[in-house]
Amino acid sequence: MEILKSEAVKTLLEANKSVNRETLYKKELDSLKPGEAIRLKTEDWLIKTTPSAYYYRYNKNQGKKVVTVNKLKDGFLITKN
């Protein structure tokens, strides 16, 4: 067991913060004009989180609704507002 001083504790706690990863398809979304969309097949979406939940957080961080996600028969349609 090791007893740490408060400065060491603060340093350790700061080091454990999560890394902010780049938003998926951010370059493509930024290049779109309002009304344009990206069509993704289900196989292209590689994470467990659904696109609607994933981009809900993206919209929340932007402070306004930037993209809309619609479910299609074989994938997703991500439209820029």
Structural domain boundaries, residue 41: 22-80
pLDDT of residue 61: 77
pTM of the model: 0.69
Share the mean pLDDT of the chain.
Answer: 85
Considering 17-21, 45-49, 55-59, 75-79, the range whose residues carry the highest mean pLDDT is 75-79
Write the pLDDT tens digit of every residue in 23-40: 888 899 889 999 999 999
Q: Does residue 48 form part of some domain?
A: yes
Q: Are 24 and 36 in contact (CB under 8 A)?
A: no
CA dist., res. 80 & res. 32, Å (int) = 7
Question: Phi first, then psi: what are they for 51, rounded to 5°?
Answer: -60, -35
User: Who contacts 32 (Cβ-Cβ below 8 Å, separation ≥6)?
Assistant: 38, 80
Total number of domains in the chain? 1
74 lies in some domain: yes
